[in-house]
Amino acid sequence: QVQLVESGGGLVQAGDSLTLSCSASGRSIRALIMGWFRRAPGKEHEFVAAITPGGGRTTYSDFVKGHATISSDSAKNTVYLRMNSLNPEDTAVYYCAASNVLVGLPEDPKYYAYWGQGTQVTISS
C-alpha cells in the first residue's frame, strides 16, 4: 500500500510562486509514476503534471506548460510541483497521485491507484 501526503498549499497572491510537496511511503517512488492533479470547485479532476520513476521524463498539461515544474527526490521519496506566475484560475485542491502502471505517462486519473488527501491552493487577485 502506498500512502501519499501533500503539503505546501496555502493562500498566495497572483504572480507569486508556490512549491507543493508529496511525501510517499509504503513503496519507493523509483517504482511508481507520480502525478499531480487538481480539482477546482464544480469541476472534475484535471491533470497537471507527471514524472517517470527515475525522474528522467516529465509531461505537463497545456495550461501549466512553462510555469510549472515537477521533480522528484528519490532519497526523500518525495515529489514536488513548483508553480510560478500563479493566477486566480489556478485556485484548486491539488492532489498527488501514484501509478504502478508503468506505461508512458498517463494523464487519465483512472490509471492512478493511490491518492493523497489534497492540499488547497488559493490565489488572490
pLDDT of 3 > 80? The answer is yes
Q: Under 8 Å CB-to-CB from 7, ≥6 apart: which residues?
A: 20, 21, 23, 119
H or E element in which residue 24 lies: strand 18-25
User: Cβ distance 118 to 93 under 8 Å?
Assistant: yes
Residue among 86, 103, 81, 90 nearest 23 (CA): 81
Q: Exposed/middle/buried for 62, CB within 10 Å: 0-12, 13-18, 19+?
A: exposed
User: Cβ distance 7 to 79 under 8 Å?
Assistant: no
State the pLDDT confidence band at 55, using cuts at 50, 70 and 90.
confident
State the pLDDT confidence band at 116, using cuts at 50, 70 and 90.
very high
% of the chain with per-residue pLDDT over 90 = 88
Q: Which segment of 12-26, 44-58, 67-81, 110-124 scores lowest on mean pLDDT?
A: 44-58
Q: Work out the mean pLDDT of the chain and round it to a whole number.
A: 95
Average pLDDT over residues 96-112: 90
